[in-house]
Amino acid sequence: MQDRAAKTRRQLIRSAAELFDRGGFAGSSIGQICALARVSQGALHFHFGNKQALGEAVESTAAEILLCVTGQVPAQHPEPLQLLVDTSHTLAEWVTCDPVLRAGFGLAHDASWHSGVSLWQHWRDWVRGLLALARRQGGLAPGVDLDDAVSAITAVMAGLEGLERDPARAWSARSVTPFWRLVLPQLAAEAARGGIDVAGSPSSATGEPSSERWRFDDGSAPHECAAMPDAQLCCMPYEDHREMSGSAS
């Protein structure tokens, strides 16, 4: 029964995220959200009280998913800059395919939504931690200013996320590879430079979303994602999500 309640809660969060993404927070009604989730309005009010609380749940779930994508900054890592490149690719991919993560970022652009949550703050802190690790391990070029690098890397990722919504996104910078190709020769210490794959290392999650990394419900996954145990389904098209939402209540 608790499982069922948790599933209903997740369905509501996912349906709200899909609708916020398509019509904005103000443009999505409780009725539409319940219809998409195939859940009664009573159930929505039981779980979330009101639309504002549901919006906050979408945002905090997105924050948890983002934490799943980045993981914590490790105390040691054989190739911190490669981890940074790989994770930026994973994030770019997830923003494209995960409606809850995309809605979480989208709410920050939504003038009808107001909260103090910033997903980019987490990203920024994570990038700073990883660059500091790279510096401690001698992987960063000597002249690099950490603030500069953190700012540029945050701005470019925020730009890729924003351009996903652009009417002309077909042409847009849909990959972070061009940025890394330009920036890494400047960022990485000479010894580390040649070994970094700017397109993401083959072991990272970029490309096939069916890799172990995406299986958050699987004990072998690198990070557990309690927020969305069915997050390995994130690359299914919307139609499938709707079917999934509808098939169980």
Residues that bind its own copies (CB under 8 A): 20-24, 26-27, 106, 108-112, 115-118, 120-121, 124, 144-145, 147-152, 154-163, 165-168, 171-173, 175-179, 181-183, 185-187
- Would you state the torsion angle of the CA atoms of residues 4, 93, 173, 239, taken in this order, to the nearest 10 degrees? -40
Extract long-range pairs of 166-172: CB within 8 Å, 24+ residues apart.
none
Task: Report the residue number, 199 or 221, with the smaller CB distance to its own copies.
Answer: 199
For residues 25-61, b (16+ Cβ closer than 10 Å) or e, as one string?
Answer: beebebebbbebbbbeeebbeebbeebeebbbbbbeb
Q: Which among 135, 118, 117 is positioned nearest to 73, based on CA atoms? A: 135
Nearer to its own copies, 109 or 136 (CB): 109
Looking at this protein, which amino acid is placed at residue 202? P
What is the rounded CA–CA span in Å between residue 21 and residue 100?
9
48 or 105: CB nearest its own copies: 105
Report in angstroms how near the CB of residue 141 gets to its own copies at its nearest. Answer: 10
Q: How far is the CB of 16 from its own copies (least distance, A)?
A: 13
* Minimum CB distance to its own copies, residue 144 (Å): 8
Pick the closer one to its own copies by CB: 73 or 117: 117
In the three-class reduction of DSSP (H, G, I as helix; E, B as strand; rest coil), residue 125 is classed as helix
Shortest CB 189 distance to its own copies, Å: 15
* 14, two tokens: 């996912």
Q: At closest approach, how far in Å is the CB of 43 from its own copies?
A: 25
Nearer to its own copies, 163 or 235 (CB): 163
